[in-house]
Structure 1
Amino acid sequence: MKSKAWYKKQLKRKPVQITRYAVQAIFLLFLLYVGLRFYQFYMHFETLGEKPFIERPSAVEGFLPISALVALKVWLTSGEFDRIHPAGLVLFAFFIGSGLIFRKSFCSWFCPVGTISEITAWFGRKLFKKNFEIPTWLTWILTPLKYLLLYFFISMILAMPTFEAKAFLDEPYNKISDVKMLLFFLNIGGFALKVILVIFVLSSFFRNFWCRFLCPYGAMIGLGSLFRITKVRRNEDTCTNCEMCTKVCPQRIKVHTKKVVASPNCNACMSCVEACPIKDTLNMTVVNKKVNKWFIPVGFLALFFIVVVVAKITGHWDTIITYKEWQQLIPDANYVGH
């Protein structure tokens, strides 16, 4: 049992990381609450009104990236904002756009899969006394996979004419895509379950395996890093090559060998900056100007809440699908296809 003094020392040494873990836990619990509320909403219609009606939580649309990607195409090409899953489009557009300045902060602070991946890696370290490193040659082979998946989705949607994209958004399938997603996880089995178990096992051996090699969402957000607006700089004159920065990096970036960390894999978690024992040897910079280590996380969280509040106030958050439509669509969800 660790003493109170030990926890105070850790909080003093790594305040951003302690805060990040707390935000991850709170957001994961919030999403579990959203999932429960959405299940209750679904059961009201599935039981034809026998279960009490629960208002549908719009935040569930954050789990519909394909629908949001199609909606983003329609918005950019025609100016029409999706009214079927507006919250999904707001969240998707914000997280992708935030990558320009805040890098992959979504991945390190909000993403439930990223949080579970970090917890899995923690269990792996407890069980095997360490997480294992993937050989460099294999890393080079695996890294393109998430970009290939991203290319597949983007090319498929870019090839879709705008009128077809609009028609897709109004289809019954898209209207209940959140329900279809729920049913998928409620009835998961076979190949899908095996894939999830394999990724879970791999993540216990190799830290953040899914995030590093397979997540197309994270890959898309990371593309904002290519503009190099935000990056971690290493002062080579004061660096002692202790490698603490590399050891704590969840993306396994070799920070101690780089003058600047501008990799699209960097999720701006600030682990390396806090782990560095020499003051001002590692610093986060925005437009080549040093910023406080809290700038990225506080800026990201503040802007996120501002965007959500504005979306709600301006009517870009709640769906226009009516109770009557849900009444017609949800009982037949298993038979609705695209």
Structure 2
Amino acid sequence: MELNGARNFLNNHLRRISQLFFFAITAYAWIRLYLFVSHFDYGTPYVERPTSIEAFLPIGALVSLKNLIQNGFIDPIHPAALVIFTSILLTAVLLKRGFCGWVCPIGFISEVVTKTGERLTGKVMLGSRYLAVIKYLLLAFFLYLILPMDAASTAAFLFSPYWAIADVKLLDFWLKPGTLTILVTGLIVIATLFVRNVWCRFLCPYGALLALLSYLSPASIKKSDCVGCLRCDETCPSGLKPSQVDEMKSPECIMCFECVKSCPYGYLTPAIAGKSVRKELYALAIAGIIFGFFVVAKLTGHWETALTYADYRKLMPIRHLISH
């Protein structure tokens, strides 16, 4: 009886457990980065820099990917950024936007804020789906900056002082935010209390890139029948309407399985290449790709930065003078 209860709990809350797991890893990495930087700023005990923090350098990782294609070598300064970035791109190609629904810590925070809004107001609005064009325009802007770079410019960026401490600059950005940063962040949080998952649905260029790649994915949510209860529509974090299609293949679908869980009749089924897939196997597949890339990178020496303690000791005191 207790075993069945544990299984039911795991089945019902597996996505939240996955999100909490990756959120905890992320929080731990940010804390360690702060302690690492504090050593150079305030003389506190040395804490090794967390390599996984490079997951928050997707724009630089895109430059790094372009460098790999153009120049044929892996960036030695932040190799983990490229490793994590390419692993996430692969999850989109194979498993649709499961990264957004099961892993992304920003997506998790967005959903928590939305749930808070639901409790406070009773129901959040969906907002116009056409607002999603904003994130695609932001993605187009970054691609416009990066794609025209020639091989020399790409390599030069990866060996620049700015890229060397890009993660530290990002920490400084959030520890000492400007008025505009506070205002924009506050507006996004407040908007998310009233409109479902504003950042993920309308503003995230990373999500836009994964959405485009998800067109190649064989993953989808299939519908066998429908009684029109609309519970699946009400629970979709992306504001989609699974009740209106026979197969949900929208690039905005994050494969969270909330619609599947909400259907009281079992009419919705997650599938890959037309074959049904269990929730736990799907979650393991995403984690397997991400951690698989990590293991290969560690074994091949493409995870840790080539920067030394002496390098950081030189760069840290002057980082406020270093810009793009």
- 1:43 is aligned to 2:38: yes
Shift of 1:81: 0.7
Go from structure 1 to structure 2 and tell me whether the alpha carbon gap of 1:10 and 1:161 turns closer, same or farther (over 3 Å shift): farther
Go from structure 1 to structure 2 and tell me whether the alpha carbon gap of 1:22 and 1:60 turns closer, same or farther (over 3 Å shift): same
1:308 to 279, 288, 294: 294
Matched-pair contact (CA < 8 Å) for 1:102–1:230: yes
Q: Which AA in structure 2 matches 1:255? A: P
Structure 1 partner of 2:175: 186
User: How high is the sequence identity, in percent, across the aligned residues?
Assistant: 37
The TM-score normalised by the length of structure 2 is: 0.95
Matches within 5 A, 1:62-77: 62-77=55-70
Structure 1 partner of 2:104: 111
Large movers: runs of 4+ above 3 Å: 7-17
Shift of 1:172: 0.3
Gaps of at least 5 residues in structure 2 are: none
Gaps of at least 5 residues in structure 1 are: 1-6
CA distance in 1, matches of 2:238, 2:293: 28
The TM-score normalised by the length of structure 1 is: 0.91
SS at match of 2:149: coil
After superposition, what is the alpha-carbon deviation per residue over 1:285-320, rounded to whole angstroms, capped at 9, x for unaligned? Answer: 211222223332121112222221221121111000
CA distance in 2, matches of 1:306, 1:284: 23
Q: Which AA in structure 2 matches 1:247? A: E
CA distance in 2, matches of 1:66, 1:45: 26
- 1:81 is aligned to 2:74: yes
Q: Which AA in structure 2 matches 1:309? A: V
CA distance in 2, matches of 1:121, 1:316: 38
Structure 2 partner of 1:102: 95
Structure 2 partner of 1:258: 245
- 1:244 is aligned to 2:231: yes
How many residues were matched structurally? 323
- 1:329 is aligned to 2:315: yes
Matched-pair contact (CA < 8 Å) for 1:132–1:205: yes
CA distance in 2, matches of 1:319, 1:156: 25
Structure 1 partner of 2:85: 92
Matched-pair contact (CA < 8 Å) for 2:91–2:289: no
SS at match of 1:37: helix
CA distance in 2, matches of 1:14, 1:220: 33
Cα RMSD (Å): 1.8
CA distance in 1, matches of 2:231, 2:5: 16
SS at match of 1:233: strand
SS at match of 1:283: strand
Q: Which AA in structure 1 matches 2:35? A: Q
Go from structure 1 to structure 2 and tell me whether the alpha carbon gap of 1:63 and 1:336 turns closer, same or farther (over 3 Å shift): same
CA distance in 2, matches of 1:247, 1:173: 45
After superposition, what is the alpha-carbon deviation per residue over 1:274-295, rounded to whole angstroms, capped at 9, x for unaligned? Answer: 211223x211221122222333
2:141 to 152, 158, 161: 152
- 1:30 is aligned to 2:17: no
